[in-house]
Amino acid sequence: MRTKISKSALNFYALMISIILLFNCCAENKKQNSVHKNEAVAENVNPHDVIPFFQHWNLILGNGSNAGKATNYADKNFFFTANDDKENWVVFKTPNAGNTHGTSNNTRTELAQLKKWTPMTEATMNATLKVMNVATTGDARVAATYSVVVGQIHSADGHENEPLKIFYKKFPGHTKGSVFWNYEINTAGDSNSKRWDYSYPIWGYDFSVVGSDKDNYPPEPKDGIALGEEFSYKVEIKDGIMSLTFTSEGHETKTFTKNLIVSEYAKPSDMPEQVKNLFVPIGQDGVEREKAYTGEGLFFKLGCYNQTNGKAPKVNKVWCSGAETHGGNIDKQYADGNYAEVWFKSASIEISDNAISNAGYFKANDGLSKKTVYPSEVIPFMDKFKILLGDGTNENNLVNFEHKDFFYTVIDGTRRWVVYKTPNSGVTSKNSSNTRSELQEKREWTPEEGGKLTGTCKVMQVSVSGDARVAASYSTVVGQIHSGEGHENEPLKIFYKKFPGQTKGSVFWNYEINTAGDNNAGRWDFSTAVWGHDMSVIGKTKEDFPAEPEDGIELGEEFSYEVNVYKGIMYLTFTSEGHETKTFTKNLIKSEYVNKSDLPTQVKKLFVPIGQDGTERATAYSGELNYFKQGAYNQTNGKSPKKSMVWCAGAETYGGDIAKQYENGCYTEVWFREATIGLGTPQK
């Protein structure tokens, strides 16, 4: 028996079928779009199926973790497979910011070989790849910006330096990027802080070609490699010689050789011009061990080692890119191109049977970025000091002590530093209007007994708000001698000061008189310029700044000081690469300001108008107990200039909210990498 279907029912069924087909079509399109968005993920294909050699490596992921051997392993964020409509590839992907591995500033999704071998053995690595993305933000003046390392040789011993890094780098808006390789010297001596790279162009530029401004790029390389364009490298090690071969269809094959066991950079005169231009200005001017990497355990690395990070260029003008990181949010970084992504379609390694376990490297570096390195491990004199922090709290035992807001350590790309940080407003010490994260020496001494303090530092931040007419605005004190008796005045304060909008700031030192009589209200400072202006150079109005000093010091630029008090005389020495060394002497036990007629013109201009016109005891600080201080003593505060046109800066304080002050640049931050303290010595 047949059932008769009405015409209206047939129309209904036809409509439903159309809707179902349309739905399925949309679903398929959505699926295809989703696949495209996720780099054409190869379904049910494991990285081990594409390149079957992962049993020879540990895989370090873009979140800083060691995933171990990557056999039968994938991670949707960092390590997976893709298909480009022709063949399958293994994808290595990592953001501009996240947890890092070892002491690096940079994230990586990278294989690290499980065995190590010496340069005298035979070892080979081959790879064919294409770079699909480099970060879209950064600072064009920073050499590492917009680049990724796709292959390495790394040392597992000594300084753990890198005799080979193969880079790809492309500036925003360019179609073609550059491929180059770097050799990092195996620095002579115990300190690795002065290491540098020498860079060789393959196609396009070398590492040293940078922009003239943050967003001003050099011309696009004519013989460069585009994103998505294949190239291959072969690295061979034999009898201490590294041989490199680079090939890409449509490009000239390039070959190089490098001796890994005899250095060509063992003397200062061997330094290449490229290095003098790029690394020497940031203090990286070392020499190499004569035997280079002889006897050290080396191992291959392969993948995606993102060289673009979010650290400020003032931290390190070669390695710190100032790129967008969205606070470390990986999804947001991936969404707007702030990541590196490299695809490999083939790779292989061959090593000697004499290769040995590389477990020691992973033991030393796994999780290291999450481990606390205390300031006392960087500058070991902390047992001789106590500290007052920016929230008014004190700590007397500084061995294995840190505070994440005020006193901690960082790495700037080459070395570790102790950070002193403090806001414009917070809890202060007695008799002070200013916050500080500052060490105070436990020992006290008279000028006749003497003492010595040294420090190598760089000021990373001074307040961006204040009043230009107030001498203390926009400044911080990075070293002091303080009296612990009498008026408790300060025979020495070493300042750094920079006006907003200017590149260079001033370094100067102040001597505060030890006021005669019982009343200390008439005390004043006399300021002496080191580089740039002295304290008395101020603006005519609140936002009218004097001319930028030609011989000044930039934020992030290193300088050193030595304070040596011996038999009542204070000897000061200031040094900085590229600046004239300056020396000064000051008698701390015999005053030159005993009479009103002795007041310097500078003091009459700056202090006398606010009623500070005292004279000094004839014996100055003789017999008084003193102590050294070092760190960040913020001289910019929120008090009204009406109270003092010298010391009250009228800066923004956000009601004392420290987080908001930090967020808006209303704080000071000083980094020290070296410092010593001891007894005064005869001045040479």
pLDDT of the residue at 27: 40
Asked whether 59 and 69 are in contact (CB, 8 A), the reply is yes
Closest CA to 126 of 42, 224, 51, 201: 51
Query: What band does 30 get if pLDDT is binned at 50, 70 and 90?
Result: very low
Tell me, what DSSP letter sits at residue 335?
A: H
Considering the domain 375-678 in this protein, what is its CATH number?
A: 2.60.120.200
Sequential DSSP letters for 79-127: EEEEE-SS-EEEEEEEESSS--STT-SS-EEEEEESEEB-TTS-EEEEE
**Which amino acid, one-letter code, is at 597?**
S
Question: What is the structure's pLDDT at 12?
Answer: 47
In this prediction, residue 119 carries a pLDDT of: 97
Residue showing tokens 């910019």: 636
DSSP-assigned letter for residue 207: T
Q: What burial letters (b/e) apply to 600-614, b meaning 16+ CB within 10 Å? A: eebbeebbeeeebbb
Its pTM stands at 0.79
Token reading at 378: 């960087």
**279 CA to centre of own chain:** 14
The CA R_g of the chain, rounded to the nearest whole Å, is: 31
Question: In the numeric block, which tokens belong to residue 607?
Answer: 């202090």
Nearest CA among 201, 320, 203, 208 for reference residue 274: 208
Question: Which pair of structure tokens corresponds to residue 49?
Answer: 């199926």
Of the chain, the percentage scoring pLDDT greater than 70 comes to: 93
By the 8 A CB rule, do 289 and 188 touch? yes
Q: What is the pLDDT of residue 104?
A: 81
Per residue in 377-401, pLDDT (tens digit) is: 999 999 999 999 999 999 999 999 9
CA distance 158 to 141: 31
pLDDT at 431: 60
Residue 233's nearest CA partner among 296, 179, 175 is: 179
Query: Which of helix, strand or coil describes residue 606?
Result: helix
Q: How confident is the model at residue 80 (pLDDT cuts 50, 70, 90)?
A: very high
Cβ atoms of residues 434 and 428 within 8 Å:
yes
The domain locations on the chain are 96-370, 375-678
**Is a pLDDT exceeding 60 seen at residue 10?**
no
Instruction: Give me the numbers of helices (H) and strands (E) for the chain, helices first please.
Output: 8, 33
- pLDDT at site 430: 61
- The 3-state secondary structure of 144-184, one letter per residue: CCCEEEEEEEEECCCCCCCCEEEEEECCCCCCEEEEEEEEE
pLDDT exceeds 60 at position 15: no
Identical fold between 96-370 and 375-678: yes
Report the alpha-carbon distance of residue 593 to residue 612 in Å, rounded.
13
Residue 539 confidence class, pLDDT cut points 50, 70, 90: very high
3-state secondary structure 24-92: HHHHHHHHHHHHHHCCCECCCCCHHHHCCCHHHEEEECCCCCECCCCCCCCECCCEEEEECCCCEEEEE
Average pLDDT over residues 269-275: 97
Per-residue pLDDT at 365? 84
Give pLDDT, residue 503.
96
Measured in degrees and rounded to the nearest 5, phi and psi for residue 326 equal: 50, 40
DSSP state letters, 434-503: S-EEEEEES--B-TTT-EEEEEEEEEEE--S-S-TTSTTTTEEEEEEEEE-STT---SEEEEEE--TT-S
Confidence at residue 411, expressed as pLDDT on a 0 to 100 scale: 86
The pLDDT of residue 575 = 98
For residue 412, what are its two tokens?
A: 């700037």
Residues found in the chain: 684
Give per-residue pLDDT as tens, 408-431: 999 887 789 999 999 999 876 666
User: Is-contact 130 343, C-beta < 8 A?
Assistant: yes
Which of these, 87, 167, 207, lies nearest to 342 by C-alpha position?
Answer: 167
pLDDT confidence bin for 26, thresholds 50/70/90: very low
Q: What is the CATH number that goes with domain 96-370?
A: 2.60.120.200
**pLDDT per position as a tens digit, 623-636:** 999 999 999 999 99
pLDDT per position as a tens digit, 48-60: 999 999 999 999 9
DSSP state of 218: P
pLDDT at residue 11, rounded to an integer: 52
- What is the helix (H) or strand (E) element at residue 677, kind and residue range? strand 667-678
For residue 36, pLDDT beyond 70: no
Mean per-residue pLDDT over the chain, rounded = 92
Contacting residues for 666 by C-beta, under 8 A, at least 6 apart: 423, 424, 463, 464, 465, 636, 651, 652, 653, 654, 660
Give residue 31's pLDDT band: very low, low, confident or very high (50, 70, 90).
very low
